[in-house]
Amino acid sequence: MIALIQRVSQASVSIEGKINGEIGKGLMVFVAVEHADSEAKAKRLAERVAGYRVFEDEQGKMNLNVGQVNGDILVVSQFTLAADTNKGMRPSFSKSAEPELGKHLYQYFCLQLRSQGFSVPTGIFAADMQVSLVNDGPVTFTLTV
């Protein structure tokens, strides 16, 4: 599984012009599921996202995680993160999970974040979504398991 995380001051996801989820300070997380992924990987990725220290402490060092700053987490599925872009001029999605597995592990990932006490607004799996965000820093990391 792959998560692209961005530290944001605000973010939202809209579907057909209507906001489906929004947050203030926190993490915007784009998630991709690959065909070899499992619930164990989804759980581990959720632990990494929640615990990853990307927020500044009093000394200006990235030593705090999203929970320590009372931040929120907005999660959007983005299968294009699993694209193979090594050859040619068109991405290959051969590593991406089939939709049924992708949806299940995406929802399981969100459930794991919620079990850690986070409110987790989301997009809708496989929907055409518009994402708006203000990247704070900018700070962006790719996490994989």
Query: CA-based Rg of the chain, rounded to a whole angstrom?
Result: 15
- State the burial class of residue 86 (Cβ atoms within 10 Å of its Cβ: 0-12, 13-18, 19+): exposed
Instruction: Judge if pTM exceeds 0.85.
Output: yes
- The residues assigned a catalytic role are 78-80
How far is the C-alpha of 145 from the C-alpha of 127, rounded, in Å? 25
pLDDT at 115: 98
pLDDT at 79: 94
How far is the C-alpha of 108 from the C-alpha of 114, rounded, in Å? 10
Please give the distance of CA 6 from its chain centroid, rounded to a whole number.
8
Which domains does the chain carry?
A: 2-134 (3.50.80.10)
Question: For 42-58, what is the mean pLDDT?
Answer: 98
